[in-house]
A = this chain, B = another copy of it.
């Protein structure tokens, strides 16, 4: 009997991911943290800054000693000393009527609660300073803990770490991070017609494109790709390759192969035969990507992807990416940017099916206008449109197509 598809919508497909749990956390050094996903909130272990600091070059003062002063009636203060950079301000205590020389970032002396900028002072002699403008308590200083009091949430679980976030962690002396483990995705290309890219293919064979593309897609979104090579069109090899992948252990297996109907059925049967496996989806009402298969064994996901690399890329962005991100602790989104464009020509579609059309974007002179999305058609299987595309234009299920000049959303390639 022919295995007819039971098509589900892309939304229903994503809802299946409720059944997969995020991966465990691991500890990594701060210097390796860029782009990783926090596995736990980070709270301030100590106040930041650890002491009250000046934000200006000038004189640390007791603010009340400057109240009422002006250009014509400067406050006259005795210079009690200088806070040399890197020395503690605790070594110097200001008595009423005293000031201390201080530099940007220096620790305030005891009793100081404001800093007068050097521009508003004059030193008639080495021991005295005239202050021309009053300062309020707290002016030109950052108090201890003003940036982050102890216990404050600094960064949140699920956040992807940016350079500035890592800097703040360094400021707290947090040199080890608890992040989600990177998901491991095994990649298997199937097809008797495939040859390794490093070899001259025999007659009738072509070089495998999918392994390289899928490995880079996995890497690009923070996973670890383990390409397991090419397997031939036989059930035994595919089953053995899936078992090898799961034994890595892989968190995800990406199978891609030719697009013949026979081979699709064959992938489905293999996935059904794996120990403890359950086929969650077989067919999605999208184009391209209809023959996508999702199975699950333990917490591992197995995808049967279309054989054409262009279709496999669409399915990767729509479905594989969100699951990789969820497993990696980042929440269930593709993480791809959506922008608004207008169609450069009429684009037909079909009711009941979401279409993802490869487009090149053309920006006009006017920076405020959305770009024109030019569909890159071409016969199924051509690679040329793929290298020229900037993203995928989305046509919803409930429309028969878009007219020229209609607004549409484009999911940008990363």
Q: Mark A residues whose CB is within 8 Å of B.
A: 30-31, 33-35, 48-51, 53, 55, 57, 83-90, 103-107, 142, 146-148, 154-155, 162-175, 191-194, 197-217, 219-220, 233, 258-262, 307, 309, 313, 337-338, 340, 367-368, 379-384, 386-387, 389, 407, 409, 413-414
Contact A85–B258 (Cβ < 8 Å): yes
23 A-B pairs within 8 Å (CB atoms) are namely A48-B383, A55-B379, A84-B192, A86-B191, A86-B194, A86-B205, A88-B204, A90-B203, A105-B381, A147-B382, A148-B384, A162-B414, A163-B217, A163-B220, A164-B213, A164-B386, A166-B213, A168-B387, A173-B197, A173-B199, A173-B207, A174-B197, A175-B198
Nearest CB of B to A265, in Å: 12
- A-B complex: 4 closest residue pairs judged by Cβ atoms: A167-B213, A88-B203, A86-B192, A163-B216
Chain B residue nearest to A118 (CB atoms) is B261
Contact A260–B57 (Cβ < 8 Å): yes
- Which residues of chain B are within 8 angstroms of A34 by Cβ–Cβ distance? 216, 219-220
Copies in the assembly, this chain: 2
- Which residues of chain B are within 8 angstroms of A194 by Cβ–Cβ distance? 86
Known A31-B215, A173-B197: A204·B51 in contact at CB below 8 Å: yes
Nearest CB of B to A198, in Å: 5
- Which residues of chain B are within 8 angstroms of A89 by Cβ–Cβ distance? 204
Known A90-B203, A258-B104, A260-B104: A197·B211 in contact at CB below 8 Å: no
Contact B30–A85 (Cβ < 8 Å): no
Most buried by B among A148, A194, A258: A258
Distance A214 CA – B31 CA, assembled complex (angstroms): 11
Nearest CB of B to A179, in Å: 14
- Which residues of chain B are within 8 angstroms of A57 by Cβ–Cβ distance? 260-262
Contact B171–A207 (Cβ < 8 Å): yes
Contact B368–A340 (Cβ < 8 Å): yes
